[in-house]
Amino acid sequence: MDKPANRIVMIVGPTAVGKSDLGIYLAQQLQGEVINGDAYQIYRHMNIGTAKIMPDEMGGIPHHLLDIVDPQMAYSVAKFKTAAEAAITDVSSRRHLPILVGGTGFYLNSLRLNLPLGGKAPPTAVRQRWQAALAENGEHWLWEQLQQQDPVAANQIEPANTRRVIRALEVIELTGTRFSEQPQPQPRYETLVIGLTTARPVLYDRINTRVDAMMAAGLENEVANLLKTVPPDAQALQAIGYKELIPYFRGQADLATCVTLIKQHSRHFAKRQLTYFRNQMPTHWFDLVAHPEEKTAVVALVRDWLKQPAKGEKHELDR
């Protein structure tokens, strides 16, 4: 099938819902290649806790943007966008379909919408003042400042994404206009977004089971080895499954308590992921846990979309 060079497919959804498997299946059926869209699977030596797909699980499909950064290094949405655009160009040059797979909504949306992420850095004093305010008052207070000044931007940025909240407040302060009213470039790609979900009790049970499997596979040792060379406050170790185990190695908590926290935080994160994708991305939803046979419907949807003339993105279609 001829594949327009400016079209990409995204597979999104909460953790533990089968995104990686669907990405491989689509790539096999549609001559595609997978591009990672998870903020922590980019890091080397972080395999178990990020549920990173291993080479023997890839079904012969090329995977991009895995294991590209050392865990001591910071990473950003701007760096991801640049790397993903290069990967898309590479995949498209072979007339293959770029399939982005991941659960980091803001990373994927920055690519889908071609969000402006570079530009001149703000004055150091401005950033330091907002960072000090965050340290003193907390992330929810910081987000409330944005909500008061720019409700539209606040609705699009999660309180936990403090870097983005601070950036929005900086822009408002320095330009005198709302962050949401800044000029936005046109998207570079036509994007079809496939979302995976399942019933909440089923999802939570899958998350709990996955965490137990991670522990059995050696997550404790993986974190211990990372802590030999990576500072506990490094960006990479803020990932769920890693940060919760740090108190255990400091002698501040027992292992069972830490594992319980991993499960709890993973469930809460899954809920936030679903909210983000439903509110921020035009998504076609499927429940392949309850209805695995619908994989063929996903393939048919993508095939039909690829045949259509170039135009704007499809509207949301809840299934």
Tell me whether residue 14 is in a domain. yes
Percent of the chain scoring above 70 in pLDDT = 93
pLDDT at 318: 42
16 annotated binding-site participant: yes
pLDDT at 155: 93
93 annotated binding-site participant: no
What's the burial of 82, exposed, middle or buried (CB within 10 Å: 0-12/13-18/19+)? middle
Tell me whether residue 58 is in a domain. yes
Domain that holds residue 165: 124-181
**d(Cα 319, Cα 197) in Å, to the nearest integer?**
10
pLDDT digits (tens, 9 = 90+) for 42-60: 999 999 999 999 999 999 9
Q: Enter the tokens of residue 81.
A: 């966008």
**211 and 177 inside one domain:** no
191 annotated binding-site participant: no
CATH of residue 48's domain is 3.40.50.300
Q: How far is CA 19 from CA 77, 89, 143, 221, 298, in A?
A: 21, 22, 30, 26, 12
Tell me whether residue 314 is in a domain. no
The structural domain count of the chain equals: 2
**27 and 110 inside one domain:** yes
pLDDT digits (tens, 9 = 90+) for 162-176: 988 999 999 999 889
Between 113 and 259, where is the model more confident?
259
Confidence of residue 118 (pLDDT cuts 50, 70, 90): low
Domain boundary among 181, 199, 223: 181
**155 and 285 inside one domain:** no
CATH of residue 169's domain is 1.10.20.140
Residue with tokens 């960006």, as numbered in its chain: 235
Q: pTM (2 decimals)? A: 0.81
Confidence of residue 319 (pLDDT cuts 50, 70, 90): very low
**d(Cα 34, Cα 98) in Å, to the nearest integer?**
6
Tell me whether residue 300 is in a domain. yes
Q: Enter the tokens of residue 311.
A: 């135009």
314 annotated binding-site participant: no
Tell me whether residue 1 is in a domain. no
Q: How far is CA 293 from CA 13, 265, 283, in A?
A: 18, 31, 19
Confidence of residue 87 (pLDDT cuts 50, 70, 90): very high
Residue with tokens 């498209």, as numbered in its chain: 92
Tell me whether residue 312 is in a domain. no
19 annotated binding-site participant: yes
20 annotated binding-site participant: yes
Tell me whether residue 91 is in a domain. yes
Sign of the CA dihedral running 132, 136, 139, 145: negative
**d(Cα 301, Cα 319) in Å, to the nearest integer?**
12
**136 and 234 inside one domain:** no
Domain boundary among 138, 155, 181: 181
**83 and 172 inside one domain:** no
Strand partners, 182: none
Domain boundary among 153, 181, 209: 181
**283 and 193 inside one domain:** yes
Q: What is the mean pLDDT of residues 185-193?
A: 93
**pLDDT, the chain, mean:** 93
Question: Among the listed ranges 113-117, 128-132, 257-261, which one has the minimum average pLDDT value?
Answer: 113-117
